[in-house]
Structure 1
Amino acid sequence: MILTEKPSNIYTSSLRGNKRLSVLVLAILSFIVLSFFTFSKSPLSLRGPSCGRTIRTLSEAVALSSSTTSRTHQNGGQAKFINLNDLEATANAKHEQEHVLILTPLKNAEVYLARYFELIDRLTYPKHLITVAFLVSDTTDQTVSILKQKADEFLNRQELEHRYHEIAIYEKDFNFQLPEEKRHTFELQPLRRSFMARSRNYLLTAALREYHSWVLWLDVDVVDYSDSILEDLQSVDVDVVVPNCLLKTEDGSFWGYDKNNWQETDQSIEMQKSLDPDYVLLEGYYEFLTNRYLMVDMPTHLGKLEKVPLDGVGATFTLVKAQVHREGANFPPYVFQHQVETEGFAKMAKAMGFGVYGLPGYIIHHIKNS
Structure 2
Amino acid sequence: MARPLGPVRLKKTNPITLLIGAILCIFIIYFLAAPASSDFSKARKSTAASHPLSPPTSPFRKSNSKGKASPPPVSRYNLNNVTITSDPIGGRENVLILTPMARFYQEYWDNLMKLSYPHELITLGFILPKNKEGNSATTALQEQIAKTQKSGPEKDRFKSIIILRQDFEPPLQSQDESERHKMQNQRDRRAAMSKARNSLLFTTLGPATSWVLWLDADIVETPPTLIQDLAAHDKPIVAPNCYQRYYNADKKKMDERPYDFNNWQDSPKAQEIAAQMGPDDILLEGYAEMATYRALMAYMTPEGGDGDVHQEVPLDGVGGTALLVKADVHRDGAMFPPFPFYHLIETEGFAKMAKRLGWHPTGLPNYKVYHYNE
Q: 1:254 to 1:100 in 2, by over 3 A?
A: same
Farther off after superposition, 148-157 or 220-229? 148-157
Q: Does structure 1 retain, via aligned residues, the 8 Å contact 2:127–2:163?
A: yes
Map of 1:255 onto structure 2: 257
Matched-pair identity in %: 37
Aligned to 2:290, the other structure's residue is in SS state coil
Q: 1:253 to 1:158 in 2, by over 3 A?
A: closer
Aligned to 2:348, the other structure's residue is in SS state helix
**CA shift for structure 1 position 216:** 0.7
Q: C-alpha deviations, 1:76-100, integer Å up to 9, x for none?
A: 3332111011112110001110011
Q: 1:157 to 1:212 in 2, by over 3 A?
A: farther
Map of 1:364 onto structure 2: 369
Map of 1:217 onto structure 2: 214
Letter in 2 for 1:124: S
**CA shift for structure 1 position 237:** 0.5
Map of 1:13 onto structure 2: none
Distance between the aligned counterparts of 1:299 and 1:317, measured in 2?
A: 17
| Aligned partner of 2:359 among 347, 354, 357 | 354
Letter in 1 for 2:128: V
Q: Does structure 2 retain, via aligned residues, the 8 Å contact 1:155–1:167?
A: no
Q: 1:72 to 1:307 in 2, by over 3 A?
A: farther
Task: Tell me the C-alpha RMSD between the 2 structures.
Answer: 2.4
Distance between the aligned counterparts of 1:209 and 1:91, measured in 2?
A: 20
Query: Superposed, which structure 2 residues align to 1:70-81 within 5 Å?
Result: 74-81=69-76
Map of 2:158 onto structure 1: 164
Q: C-alpha deviations, 1:27-54, integer Å up to 9, x for none?
A: xxxxxxx9xxxxxxxxxxxxxx979xxx
Distance between the aligned counterparts of 2:108 and 2:244, measured in 1?
A: 16
What residue ranges of structure 1 are gaps of 5+ in the alignment?
1-33, 35-48, 52-63
**CA shift for structure 1 position 105:** 0.9
Map of 1:12 onto structure 2: none
**CA shift for structure 1 position 257:** 0.4
Q: Does structure 2 retain, via aligned residues, the 8 Å contact 1:103–1:217?
A: yes
Map of 1:294 onto structure 2: 296
Aligned to 1:149, the other structure's residue is in SS state helix
Q: C-alpha deviations, 1:297-352, integer Å up to 9, x for none?
A: 11344411111000001110011001111110000000001111010000100111
Q: C-alpha deviations, 1:109-147, integer Å up to 9, x for none?
A: 13x1x1111001101100100111101113314211222
| Aligned partner of 2:280 among 255, 278, 285 | 278
| Aligned partner of 1:151 among 145, 159, 164 | 145
Map of 1:207 onto structure 2: 204
Distance between the aligned counterparts of 1:190 and 1:360, measured in 2?
A: 27
Aligned to 2:143, the other structure's residue is in SS state helix
| Aligned partner of 1:100 among 95, 102, 120 | 95
Q: Once superposed, which parts of structure 1, at least 4 consecutive aligned residues long, lie more than 4 Å away?
A: 70-74
**CA shift for structure 1 position 72:** 7.8
Distance between the aligned counterparts of 2:183 and 2:320, measured in 1?
A: 19
Distance between the aligned counterparts of 2:294 and 2:211, measured in 1?
A: 29
Q: 1:304 to 1:282 in 2, by over 3 A?
A: same
Map of 2:14 onto structure 1: none
Distance between the aligned counterparts of 1:121 and 1:80, measured in 2?
A: 32
Q: Does structure 1 retain, via aligned residues, the 8 Å contact 2:241–2:366?
A: yes
**CA shift for structure 1 position 221:** 0.7
**CA shift for structure 1 position 256:** 1.0
Aligned to 2:309, the other structure's residue is in SS state coil
Aligned residues: 305
Q: Does structure 2 retain, via aligned residues, the 8 Å contact 1:138–1:177?
A: no
Distance between the aligned counterparts of 1:252 and 1:311, measured in 2?
A: 32
Q: Does structure 2 retain, via aligned residues, the 8 Å contact 1:262–1:292?
A: yes
Query: Superposed, which structure 2 residues align to 1:1-370 within 5 Å?
Result: 74-107=69-102, 109-110=103-104, 112=105, 114-141=106-133, 142-157=136-151, 159-178=153-172, 179=174, 180=176, 181-250=178-247, 251-300=253-302, 301-369=306-374
**CA shift for structure 1 position 243:** 0.5
Aligned to 2:288, the other structure's residue is in SS state coil
**CA shift for structure 1 position 182:** 2.4
TM-score (norm 1): 0.77
Q: Does structure 2 retain, via aligned residues, the 8 Å contact 1:157–1:163?
A: no
What residue ranges of structure 2 are gaps of 5+ in the alignment?
1-38, 40-49, 64-68, 248-252
Distance between the aligned counterparts of 1:193 and 1:304, measured in 2?
A: 30
Distance between the aligned counterparts of 1:274 and 1:264, measured in 2?
A: 16
Aligned to 1:303, the other structure's residue is in SS state coil
Q: 1:138 to 1:232 in 2, by over 3 A?
A: same
**CA shift for structure 1 position 211:** 0.9
Distance between the aligned counterparts of 1:256 and 1:297, measured in 2?
A: 7
